[in-house]
Structures are given as C-alpha cells and as structure tokens.
Structure 1
C-alpha cells in the first residue's frame, strides 16, 4: 500500500532548503511492526525456534520499520528516487526502552538512490546505489528470508533479456568480531556479487527465478599475516525456484539451493546468505529444498505451509554432517469479514554428526490457536490483532523451559502485526 503524505512533504520542505530545492511533491510512507504482551509459566512470553516451528504465538519482541521515499527528480522518462528506512527492536518489557538504557536498538536499514529511464529502451530497468534490502525472498509464517543478500552496494536490476529480466549487484556484508583473540582489526570485510534472472515462464501459470551469489572475504594485510579464521575462502550459493498458480487462487513454490564454504551453514540454519567466518569452513558444502504454498480450501478456510529439508557437511572443524527437517502449517477460518480463527502447528528435527563420532540432536514442536481481527478475509491481510495460546515442547534436549527444569511450557498473549 502506498500513501502520499503531502503535508509531511510540505513540512520537510519548509525546514530544509535542500529538500525544497528538489521540488518534492509527495512522500511515500511504508512500514511494518509487530508488538504485544504475553506471559508464560516461565514469566515473560518464551520464544522457541520460531524459524523452525513457526512464529504465531512464538514472538516476544517489539519490532518496527518506518520507510520514507520520494521521487526527487523527473523529466521525460528519467526519474531519481530516494528511499530510506529506520528500524527499532526491543523486548517490549517497559515504557522507557531506549539506547540509553541499552534495552532498545535503532538501525538505519535502507538509504539508497534508484534511477530509472537511463537504460535505452528499458523504462523499468533500475540503476541503484546505497544501502537497501535487496530482492529478499521471504517465508512469512516462519519469519525466514531464505535468499537475502542485503547491505550497502550498487547495481542494475530488471534489465529485460529474453522472456525475463537480469539483475546484477555488488553488496558489502562484513563480519564483526570474528576472532575473540584479537582486540583490534577483528572485523572481516566480505563482498558479494549477486546475479539473478527472473521471469521465465516455462508453461501457463508458472514462473521462475535463478541466481548465483559469490562471497569474497577480503582480509587486510595484517589479517593475512595473522591467518586463522581470516583465511576464509570464497564461497558460492546457487538458488533456483519455480512457482505455480493453481486452482481457485492457490499457489505453490519449490526452491532448490546449493552452497559452499562459509555460505553452506545457511542450508541448515534457515539463513539467507550470511557468511560464517567464525569457523573453519574450507571443506563445507550444503543444499536445501523448500516447498511452500497457499491453498484456499473454501472461501472461508485456507492453508499455508512451509517444508524445509536441509543438509550441510563440514560446516565447522568439529562437525561432519548436519541435517534439518522442518514443517510448519497454518490454517485460517474466516468467521466474518473481520474475525478469523487461526491454528498453527510446527515441528523440526536436527542432527549433527561430529567427526569424533558423537552426535548432537535438536527437536521440538509448537501448537498455537488464536482468534484474530483483520482488515479483510485474505490470508495475508493486515493489520491483524490476535489473542493466542501456544504450547511449546523441546522433545530432544529437554529442560529448555521453567528455569531449565521442564521440557515444555505455555504461552498466552495478544499481538498486533501490520504492514502498509
């Protein structure tokens, strides 16, 4: 949804000669937030493996993003657009959360320039530079972005080529404090080259996207002399996905990914492309298969699911093999245009086989029921206010709850989620 804030633009222009000179006639306002209150038998609401068992009734934070953008120049077919975003996250525990009290964090998430109309014969092509969320691919019900190379960078995207479009970007994603033995110079510069091709439709109702991400650690001369974890090698992540529209508005997507070196751990961590420079990953490889879909069974009843199978080998110097299986399903029944019932069930099993012959297992389940108010009957319609109850169970390690005395707990609460 895009809102034109003429009043805000006028106020900003009056207080800033620079903005006034740019002749901004409107500001686009977007955002996201989630917040609420909850309680469990552990005290505050407990969050347990939400990327593997599902997020509904399993989120304890307050998080928000505010995005302001504007077309600051347009002449004929050429336009310049400035985009910005700030974020805030806290545990939602009190009224006076701030950076002063060290219980809230604020960040500059996006600040970039996007230029259209300078690629001959291709009005939708964009030349960009700055800091941005770069074409992130999301699995909403587990709050995971399985393809996410974001940060400061530059590139050109949506350049028409055959039946689809090409995008190429250079993005920086450094790793901080990678070696506790070093007091200074322990941040490792890492650059990503990202190339994608999207839009090819092999048959009716289907569309595809393919991409390659090449991560290049770039140590300083001093870090090369020190060696150790700074000897991280270049890694690659390959992604291919196919989506299919089906009967009565249902859809399904299958994703295949392969990764090496420091990118391999993403295949079992539910990551989207961050580079692990904290372990020896010179032999690491991994792959992941994801299937997700939305099925409207009737006009009032619909289902959404995410299935993940991941495998990674030698992602640390002590680990031989790691395997992950996760399945989350959410059902929604619309009682009226604004009132809905929601149920979500999720579970996962993960096993690490170590090189010394030992094993480490993780696994658990979550069951949630909720009654919600939303601004319409669509499955993803927001804003939404929910009253929920969740049962969490750690079926492998145990003793994860109630001050490490029990393997299960209950969450009760109210949460609001919105985007616009």
Structure 2
C-alpha cells in the first residue's frame, strides 16, 4: 500500500481524539470500511470499473481503506430555541491495487467538513444558516456509491427555510471537491416538500455556475427534479431527472468550465430500497445518461444493478450483487458485467442497512474488447486494461474480506 501524508493524518487523528475531551455534549459519528483481497491471477485485488461509467457496483469491488470521523458540538442554545454549533469531520483514504491516482500518491487525509451552523432559527421557519466546508444534500445510490446530486461545497447557505408547506434552500460556493481547479462561483437553489400523492414528495433544484474571470471559459447551469415515494412495496422508491449545459453537464457538480452551451447532458435515475420482511431487503438501481458534444464525442451510459440481502439468522446474511454497465462511445460500445457473493456476519441484526457487517466475498467480472481498449488508453494498469492484473483476458475474479461500519 502507498502511504498517506503522515502529517495530515496525525493532525486529523489528533483532532478526532482531542475534541471530545473539551466538549461537554459532543455528538460523535463516523464511517469505516476496510479489508483486503487478492486476484485470481495472484497479487493484490484489482477492482472493476468501466471507462466512461461514473460509478461501479461496490460489493466485493472496493480497493481502498476509508474512514470518516465526525464531531458536532453545540456551543450556544439561545432563548428563541435556536442553536449555534460547529461540526468537523476527518477523512482518511488509502487505495491499494490498481486504483486511479488522485494526486502524487494513492491516499490522502483531510478535514472534509469544517463548518458552523445556526439552526432551528424561528426567523427562518426553523431553518438554518451555515458557513464553511460541508457535506450537503448528498443524494446517492448506495450499491454503486454514486452521488448523482450532491451540493457539498465550501461556501455558505440557508438550509430548509420553511415558507408555508415548502422548504427553501440556497448555497453559494466556490469549490465542491478536493481536486477542483479552478475555483468557480456556484449558486444552488432548492425547493422541497411538494406533496404529489399520499407518501410522495417532489423536490426541485437549479444550479448556476458563473464564468471564471480571465479564462477561456463559459458559464453553465443544470436542473434536477426528484420524486420520493414512501411505503412503496415495503420500501422507498426514488426517481430523478437531471439536465445541464456547459459546465453544468456535470449534473450536480461543477463541471469543465471550457465547455460552452452547445454541450449538454441529461440523466434519469431510478432506485428502490426495500425491506419486505425483517430478513429480506435490498436495493435495485438504474441510471441512464446521455452526453451530447459538438465535436461528435457523444457518449451514452447505462447502468443496471441489484443487491438482494437475505438473513438466515439474526446475525448471518447472504448478500449477492449483480451489476451491468454499458457505455456507447466513439471506438465501440464498452460492456462490463460484475457478480459478487458474500456470506456476511452482522451482529447488529438482519436488515439491509444494519451495520457493522463483516463479509467474505468472491467477485467475478467479464468485459468486452471495446472496454479493454478504452481502459488501456484511458486507465492503463487498471483491471480491464491489457496491462492490468488480468492481462489480455476479458474476465477476472477477486476474493477477500471487508468490514463496513457506520454509527451515529
């Protein structure tokens, strides 16, 4: 494994350890996934992701150690019932195997959240004002770890300001991920709470990205509409439509500012979480995205996957996952199919979302020649490339052990 920056890691760990000592009522939460594996060809596990696909199906297919440690402290409770708080989260990431490089090495440590919030404000209808770096309105598909609509950023905003039956939110930000360059002014506006039917709510959002000054760049925008349906066959169904132009083609993120308004993207997202019985749960997901480019480099991405979970006892589950990604792009249609089976011990209980889980897993994947050509060109050394763990073969498998845990 490649070492993360030791100084940053020590700072993050020190803060996580020291803050509770001075806090009178700090809330501590976190997330952990860790493990190790190997490939059928020998050596370290090498994970499967199709070039052009923005996510991968994650069960038995995560080549990293990842930790988040969060502390939240209320500083003041005012007479009007409002609360002033601070929040901080340390993030540690270290990849292994043939994973894409982020910076000069495979890992990093940072404070990915540091913000202050004045919440439960009567003047804002119970809403809040915040400023800093924050995870904010993150909408994701769990089985693929795909954050399709994510307004996390460094900036400030008004959150869930209630006016009548609706809640309004606004964020001004300059940077929405660790590796963004250049900084870009971004405005996000959301309205939530439209009651469409019993158990169904609609949320609407608009994002506008300003043109950076002094650059050969353009402004951009995107819109999102999302419907959530509760009590849907024993679970919750989510359907979202997104459309963007220029830098807004990142659809929920800050995209490439060199793209002009002739570049457009749209996306449909559909996923369903179920827990039909105490012992049978899961998630099924579908994503379709179409990217239209004036140079003809158009691309269509289709992703379909399902993870059913059945618990034989209160603590023993059998988890399986099947995922299929397909990308139509110049050079041919790329295809990847991945299957995982994972006997799992879960001391917290039999539900789909209950953690911790300790899993043993076996993962098999196959892909076509177009996928291998694209990987060899765009991501040399990764699992699908001809210089990766499986060489010129169009299939491969991994096995290993993983623990996943989240707590609040």
Q: Determine which of 382, 388, 407 is the counterpart of 2:361.
A: 388
TM-score (norm 2): 0.83
Which residue number in structure 1 is paired with residue 31 of structure 2? 32
Q: CA deviation at 1:176?
A: 9.1
Q: Trace 1:191-206 onto structure 2 (pairs within 5 A).
A: 191-206=185-200
2-structure distance, mates of 1:251, 1:195: 25
Q: Deviations over 1:48-78 (max 9, x none)?
A: 1285441001001001111111001112213
Structure with higher RCO (Cα < 8 A, 6+ apart) = 2
Which residue number in structure 2 is paired with residue 397 of structure 1? 371
Change (3 A) 1:11 1:379: closer
Which residue number in structure 1 is paired with residue 205 of structure 2? 211
Contact 2:38 2:44 in 1 (8 A): yes
What secondary structure, in the 3-state scheme, does the structure 1 residue paired with 2:195 have?
coil
Q: CA deviation at 1:250?
A: 1.7
Which residue number in structure 1 is paired with residue 61 of structure 2? 58
Contact 1:232 1:262 in 2 (8 A): no
2-structure distance, mates of 1:25, 1:177: 35
Structure 1 residue 303 and structure 2 residue 246: aligned?
no
Change (3 A) 1:366 1:403: closer
Gaps of 5+ in 1: 1-7, 14-23, 94-100, 179-186, 225-229, 354-358
Q: Trace 1:400-411 onto structure 2 (pairs within 5 A).
A: 400=385, 401-402=388-389, 404-411=391-398
Contact 2:55 2:146 in 1 (8 A): no
Contact 1:257 1:287 in 2 (8 A): yes
Contact 1:129 1:153 in 2 (8 A): yes
Aligned length: 365
Q: CA deviation at 1:107?
A: 1.1
Q: Determine which of 304, 312, 319 is the counterpart of 1:342.
A: 319
Q: CA deviation at 1:340?
A: 0.3
What secondary structure, in the 3-state scheme, does the structure 2 residue paired with 1:397 have?
helix
Q: CA deviation at 1:103?
A: 5.1
What secondary structure, in the 3-state scheme, does the structure 2 residue paired with 1:201 have?
strand
Contact 1:175 1:188 in 2 (8 A): no
Which residue number in structure 1 is paired with residue 5 of structure 2? none
2-structure distance, mates of 1:292, 1:351: 22
1-structure distance, mates of 2:179, 2:121: 41
Which residue number in structure 2 is paired with residue 128 of structure 1? 130
Which residue number in structure 1 is paired with residue 14 of structure 2? none
Which residue number in structure 2 is paired with residue 17 of structure 1? none
Q: Determine which of 369, 372, 377 is the counterpart of 2:350.
A: 377
Q: Which of these two proteins has the greater Rg computed from alpha carbons?
A: 1
Change (3 A) 1:112 1:177: closer
Q: Determine which of 236, 241, 244 is the counterpart of 2:229.
A: 244
Change (3 A) 1:337 1:298: same
Q: Trace 1:262-281 onto structure 2 (pairs within 5 A).
A: 262-264=247-249, 266=250, 272-277=252-257, 280-281=259-260
What secondary structure, in the 3-state scheme, does the structure 1 residue paired with 2:143 have?
helix
Q: Deviations over 1:196-229 (max 9, x none)?
A: 011221111111211011111323xxxx2xxxxx
What secondary structure, in the 3-state scheme, does the structure 1 residue paired with 2:253 have?
coil
Structure 1 residue 152 and structure 2 residue 154: aligned?
yes
Q: Trace 1:305-344 onto structure 2 (pairs within 5 A).
A: 305-314=284-293, 318-344=295-321
Gaps of 5+ in 2: 1-16, 98-103, 373-383
Which residue number in structure 2 is paired with residue 233 of structure 1? 218
What secondary structure, in the 3-state scheme, does the structure 1 residue paired with 2:67 have?
strand
1-structure distance, mates of 2:131, 2:210: 20
Change (3 A) 1:134 1:11: closer
Structure 1 residue 85 and structure 2 residue 59: aligned?
no
Q: CA deviation at 1:351?
A: 1.1
Q: CA deviation at 1:243?
A: 1.0
Change (3 A) 1:41 1:274: farther
Change (3 A) 1:397 1:153: same
1-structure distance, mates of 2:393, 2:138: 37
Which residue number in structure 2 is paired with residue 44 of structure 1? 44
Which residue number in structure 1 is paired with residue 72 of structure 2? 69
Contact 2:127 2:162 in 1 (8 A): yes
Q: CA deviation at 1:189?
A: 2.3
Q: CA deviation at 1:174?
A: 7.1
Change (3 A) 1:334 1:117: closer
Change (3 A) 1:48 1:9: closer
